[in-house]
Structure formats: structure tokens, C-alpha cells
Amino acid sequence: MCLITFAYKAHPKYKFILAANRDEFYARPTAATHWWEDHPEILGGRDLQAHGTWMAIHRNGRFAAVTNYRDMKHIKPDAKSRGDLPVHFLLKNDSPSSYSKAVHKEGASYSGYNLITLEDEMTHVSNYDSQVNLLDAGIYGLSNALLDTSWAKVKKAKGDFKTLIEQKFDLEDLIEMMQNTETAEDGALPNTGLDYEREKALSAMCIRTPDYGTCCSTAITIDYDGNVAFMEKSYPVGDRNDEIVSFNFQIERR
């Protein structure tokens, strides 16, 4: 997952609203969002190579998502899989704060990551940040740097998202919003260690290159009564099919 914009307790109807794109090499084997056979209480996509996830939600309302922190000079070939971080949170009873603090202590075991977790509170943690961040009500953007870093794609996504949720919207509107393929101006490109052509291509909200790009877009709402709506659109890249899956359920409180 490489671009997420979300509202936390910033809407009169919804406790949580999310629009996100997952960017990956097309050849990496992936299962679209489904209820997992080994953990039928978890709903999310699955990385079939490392068996983790980029984003998932538990029937009890616990939610987690991870993005890579892009720093090409400090990739750890023997690092633990970042996709395990959301899974472990969903299977534990720790609060988001407690879990994030434990993860932060083990930050050196992973290549760069951002992790957001949600239950009765919401947190952000990264091994490129000095602290765990307990989030206040508001609208946030996250890509492959720290939370709310002012990358052009993050600012664009947050602005479009804010405008959209201030009016009547549905999940299809959120997914359509995330399909913007416009790249950033040269002067607004970050410097993450990639060459110019790659940095330019990856500056779009929705990335399209021959071998890597946005594989799916996801939209989620959780209202204050615990009703969850989850939609994912997969794109026809690599061996993937162009399809939409939708799920609705009521949070089962423990």
C-alpha cells in the first residue's frame, strides 16, 4: 500500500473514512480482498509471497495498514516482512498505542515502514520517526515518507478527499478519486534515491509503468454505530483481473 488518505473522527456520520492505492510489482502474487481461510475473522488482501497484508480489518473493528518508507540507500535484504505488522496487530488484543510502541522498539528488524492502527484510538508509527504518534481527529495523508509529508501526490489526494467527503459520496466516488494518473511537476519530485524517470512515474496518485504500479484501489467507511463498508477495485495489470469486490458487516464487540 503506497498511498492512503483518511479521515478519523472528522465526519458527522463516519468515525473512519479511507481511500487508498496499493502499488506493487505486477508479477508479485496477490489475492484480492476476502475473508481469510486461516483467520476467517480477518478481511483483507493477501500477499501470497510473504503471506502478510498491506491492509486488513478484523470483525471486532481492529484495522491496520502498512506502507513502505522509500529510501533506496537503506534497503535490508534480510529484513522481516513488513506485511506481518498489520496481521500481528489484528490477532492481538493490545491497544494501538501499546502495539505501536512494541513495534517501534523492533524497528531495526524491518526495512522502512509506516504502520497505522485503529481501534478505540488511532496511531501511526514508523522506524524513520522518533516516536509513536497518537492521532487527533482530522484528515491525514500517507505515502512512502512520514505521515502528512508534503509530497505532491499526498497533498492532491488529501485535497480531493476533503472536498469529496464534505458532500454526499459513496465508495465508488472514493475509488474513482484515487485513479488520477497525473504526475508531479519536476520541482515537486521527492528525492528518494530513484532515477528521474522512476521518481516521476511514482509521483502520480495512480501509478502506471510497464512492470510496477497501482494494482488496486480501496475505499472503507466505518460509521459511529459500527457498520463497516469495504470496497476494492483491482486493475488488469499483470495476471490480475479488472474486478470490484464489496463487503458490509457489523463490528462484533468483544
In a domain, residue 175? The reply is yes
Cβ atoms 139, 162 nearer than 8 A: yes
Backbone Cα Rg of the chain = 17
What pTM does this model have? 0.96
In a domain, residue 253? The reply is no
In a domain, residue 108? The reply is yes
In a domain, residue 254? The reply is no
In a domain, residue 156? The reply is yes
Cα dihedral across residues 180, 185, 189, 194: positive or negative: positive
Q: In which domain, by residue range, is 170 found? A: 3-247
State residue 88's pLDDT score: 97
DSSP-assigned states of every residue in the chain: --EEEEEES-SSSEEEEEEEEEEEETTS-EEEEEE-SSSTTEEEEEETTTS--SEEEETTS-EEEEEE---TTS--TTPBPTTHHHHHHHHS---HHHHHHHHHHTGGGBSSEEEEEESSSEEEEETTSSS-EEPPSEEEEESSSSTT---HHHHHHHHHHHHHHTS---HHHHHHHTT--PPPPGGG---SS--HHHHHHTTSSS-B-SSEEEEEEEEEEEETT-EEEEEEEE-SSTT---EEEEEEEE----
In a domain, residue 252? The reply is no
For residue 179, give the CATH number of its domain.
3.60.60.10
State residue 78's pLDDT score: 87
Cβ atoms 5, 157 nearer than 8 A: yes
What is the count of structural domains for the chain? 1
Q: What's the N-to-C CA distance of the chain in angstroms?
A: 28
Which positions of the chain have pLDDT values less than 70?
1, 254
pLDDT in tens, 94-116: 999 999 999 999 989 999 999 99
State residue 253's pLDDT score: 79
- For the chain, the average pLDDT equals 96
Cβ atoms 135, 118 nearer than 8 A: no
